[in-house]
Amino acid sequence: MEGMGMVSKGDEIEERSMQMIEEEAGSSKNNYSSDEWIVVRRVIHATADFDYVKGGPDSIIFSRDAVGSALSAIGSRCRIVCDTDIIPAALNRSALKSLGLECISRISDPLVIEEARRSNMTRAEVAMRMMREHISNGIVAVGNAPTALYEVARMVRDEGVRPMLVIALPVGFVSAVESKMMLMSIAGEHGVEYISNRGRKGGSTVVASILNALFRLYMQKGPARV
């Protein structure tokens, strides 16, 4: 019974947090569809940062059918390809199991490390290349390494790789913004859906919160949504 009480209290806290986010976001949330707002609200919940909704460069951007494409990918039990080990660790494990999804990161793979040393490439670039077969029809989640995003954009442009969704939110100063802009440009030209922003903010926690929100959306709406 004590455990049940703790779960209930946690649910109450989350519900109140969401109410506070709704109130503080105000009319800014009207820039998003109802499904998109559920995703952005989860990002704010994870970060306590309203820059993701206030209309500046860090505001979350959705391509035309980003959410719908993501839900279709989830429904087909896609692979989720990540640029760091942090993202898989931050995902809702029960949701992954229930949805039959596999989340992959090879950034710590000895083969990736060795090839990066040999080729003078970053581990993130090499890891994305080695996960190429899982990227087409999958979801790509980049929260740390701009070089991973550059490589995904290159594969889309030069090799015809077609992910169902790219979550493009590397955080930082060197090439973070530039890699996002390149990805959005190339994705737009080749019909690839994305969730991103135009600023420096992002990170693995943000990316994981987006994925967890998409899992929740799928479980709430079911296959009929897609």
Give the pLDDT confidence of 183-215 residue by residue, as tens digits. 999 999 999 999 999 999 999 999 999 999 999
Instruction: Return d(Cα 65, Cα 62) in angstroms, integer.
Output: 8
Average pLDDT of each block of 10 consecutive residues along the chain (226 residues)?
Answer: 53 90 95 97 97 96 97 96 97 96 97 97 97 96 98 98 98 97 98 98 98 96 54
- The pLDDT of residue 2 is 42
Instruction: Give the pLDDT confidence score for residue 8 in this predicted structure.
Output: 64
Both tokens of 203, joined, read: 């990170």
pLDDT at position 223, please? 52
The encoded tokens of residue 210 equal 């987006």
Of the candidates 70, 55, 53, 190, the one whose C-alpha atom is nearest the C-alpha of residue 139 is 70
Active site residues: 45
| SS3 assignment, position 194 | strand
The per-residue pLDDT for range 15-33, each reduced to its tens digit, is 999 999 999 999 999 999 9
Nearest to 46 by CA among 3, 17, 69, 84: 17
Domains of the chain: 57-225 (3.40.50.10230)
What are the Cα distances from residue 55, in Å, to 13, 61, 66, 107, 197? Answer: 27, 10, 19, 33, 10
pTM above 0.75, yes or no: yes
